């Protein structure tokens, strides 16, 4: 289909130029720079970088700490995603029944989207601290039951809960929108055929929600890899003994605290490949996004 166009391409160039310059400066150049660093090593006394091939990658992949970090990231990704997706889906599918108080429920589910990761982290760190409030009370009844400062599993648990809490609102918005784009007539037809509410949820709404579900799932996993810095930094700072040292956090630490740019760049490249792979999966599902009209 031909559209009507304006002829003056100089105007078009002017319109597009600022964005292209910014994207080149802050996206393409840094990304290529990461590649360059990942394959080179900076000389200790200046004098440029020398080409080292895959040495940086070999060093990282031979580092047990890095594998720990990958493992921890996967645990966090699965834990927080499962919790946030299941919770949001349940809430959305019942909120979608639009009983009395629907609008109130909706606002109540959406507002956490607005909260900054460090604020979430700090709030949950307080809630879970063994030094105050509820947890201190529980510890007095059952001594040493809860101590995330020493216990890595417990620390990971509280980071997962905080991460999931932060994500529920976002997922809820998408699930609710997905549910509302299912034509009313389908559900009415189901009702006429004698399918009750729960049956309609299981056999009509959930299957038709599948594309949204996959989309949300992938976004959650990607976000858990990239967007977890604020929560980890404020809650556990990667501790105790690296039990919550997620990949993003390790890149930050190695790069800016350890000043190992090449190592951090190589880790960035690995994380980038991971995120790109996930994004491809996601785009496949977006393309297949079903339109019900």
Partner 1 sequence: MIERTPILNIATHAILVFGLLFLLLPLYLVIVAASHSLQDVVAVPPNLLPGDQLWINLQAAWAKGHLGERFVTTFIVAMGVMTGKIVLSCITAFGIVFFDHRLKMPIFWLIFITLMLPLEVRIVPTYAVAANAFLPFQTLLDLSGITWVINAVSGVEVKLEWNLLNSYAGLIMPLIATATGTFLYRQFFLTIPEELVEAAKMDGAGPVRFLWDMLIPLSRTNIAALATIMFVYAWNQYLWPLLVVTDQSYAMIAVELSRLVPKFTATGGEVPKWHIAMAGTLIVMLPPIVVVVAMQRWFVRGLINTDK
Candidate list 59, 74, 122, 281; residue touching partner 1; CB under 8 A: 122
Element holding 177 (H helix, E strand): helix 152-180
Provide the 3-class DSSP secondary structure of residue 42.
Answer: strand
Footprint (CB under 8 A) of partner 1, residues 124-153:
124-127, 129, 131-134, 136-137, 140, 149
Instruction: Quote the CA–CA distance of 241 and 230 in Å, as a whole number.
Output: 19
What mask, x for binding partner 1 by CB under 8 A, covers residues 224 to 243? --xx-xx--xxxxx-xx---
Q: Is 71 among the residues that bind partner 1 (CB under 8 A)?
A: no
Give the orientation angle of helix 133-141 with respect to helix 117-128, to 10 degrees. Answer: 30
Q: Choose which of 51, 114, 144, 293 interacts with partner 1 (CB under 8 A).
A: 114
Phi, psi for 101 (deg, rounded to 5): 85, 10
For partner 1, the closer of residues 6 and 45 by Cβ is 6
188 alpha-carbon distance from chain centroid: 36
| 61 binding partner 1? (CB under 8 A) | no
The reply on whether position 67 binds partner 1 by CB under 8 A is no
Q: Among 45-53, 59-67, 202-210, 268-276, which window interacts with partner 1 (CB under 8 A)?
A: 268-276
* Residue 62 contacts partner 1 per CB under 8 A: no
Look at residues 114, 124, 119 and name the one whose alpha carbon lies nearest to residue 80.
Answer: 124
> Which range of residues in 30-38, 39-47, 51-59, 66-74 is near partner 1 by CB under 8 A?
30-38
65: contact with partner 1 by CB under 8 A: no
Q: Residue 240's closest CA among 160, 162, 147, 165?
A: 147
* CA-based nearest residue to 161, from 217, 107, 80, 94: 80
Q: Cβ 247 to partner 1, closest distance in Å?
A: 9
Q: Under a CB-based contact definition with an 8 Å cutoff, are residues 113 and 88 in contact?
A: no
Among 41, 52, 119, 281, binds partner 1 (CB under 8 A): 119
β partners of residue 49: 42
* Span interacting with partner 1, options 44-52, 65-73, 99-107, 203-211, rule CB under 8 A: 99-107
- Interacting span for partner 1 (CB under 8 A) from 41-49, 53-61, 67-75, 104-112: 104-112
Dist. CA 84–CA 88, nearest whole Å: 6
Binding residues for partner 1, how many (CB under 8 A)? 109
| Residue 172 near residue 92 (C-beta atoms within 8 A) | yes
- The CB-of-93 to partner 1 minimum distance in angstroms stands at 9
Shortest Å, Cβ 44 to partner 1: 18
The reply on whether position 87 binds partner 1 by CB under 8 A is yes
Element (DSSP H or E) covering residue 274: helix 261-287
């Amino acid at each position: 289909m031909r559209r009507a166009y304006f002829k003056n391409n100089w105007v078009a160039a002017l319109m597009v130029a600022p964005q292209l310059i910014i994207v080149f400066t802050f996206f393409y150049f840094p990304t290529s720079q990461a590649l360059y660093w990942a394959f080179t090593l900076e000389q200790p006394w200046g004098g440029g970088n020398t080409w080292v091939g895959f040495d940086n990658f070999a060093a990282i992949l031979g580092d047990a700490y890095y594998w720990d970090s990958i493992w921890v990231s996967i645990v966090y990704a699965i834990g927080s995603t499962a919790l946030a997706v299941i919770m949001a889906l349940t809430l959305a599918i019942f909120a979608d029944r639009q009983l009395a108080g629907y609008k109130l429920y909706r606002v109540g589910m959406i507002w956490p989207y607005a909260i900054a990761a460090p604020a979430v982290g700090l709030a949950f760190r307080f809630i879970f601290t063994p030094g105050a409030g509820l947890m201190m009370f529980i510890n007095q009844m059952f001594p040493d039951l809860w101590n995330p400062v020493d216990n890595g599993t417990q620390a990971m648990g509280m980071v997962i809960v905080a991460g999931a809490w932060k994500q529920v609102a976002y997922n809820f918005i998408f699930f609710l929108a997905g549910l509302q784009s299912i034509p009313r007539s389908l559900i009415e037809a189901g009702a006429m055929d004698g399918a009750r509410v729960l049956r309609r949820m299981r056999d009509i709404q959930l299957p038709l929600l599948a594309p949204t579900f996959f989309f949300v799932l992938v976004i959650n996993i990607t976000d858990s890899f990239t967007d977890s810095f604020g929560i980890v930094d404020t809650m556990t700072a990667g501790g105790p003994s690296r039990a919550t040292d997620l990949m993003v956090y390790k890149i930050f630490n190695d790069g800016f605290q350890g000043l190992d740019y090449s190592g951090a760049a190589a880790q960035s490249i690995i994380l980038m490949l991971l995120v790109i792979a996930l994004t491809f999966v996601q785009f496949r599902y977006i393309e297949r996004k079903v339109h019900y009209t």
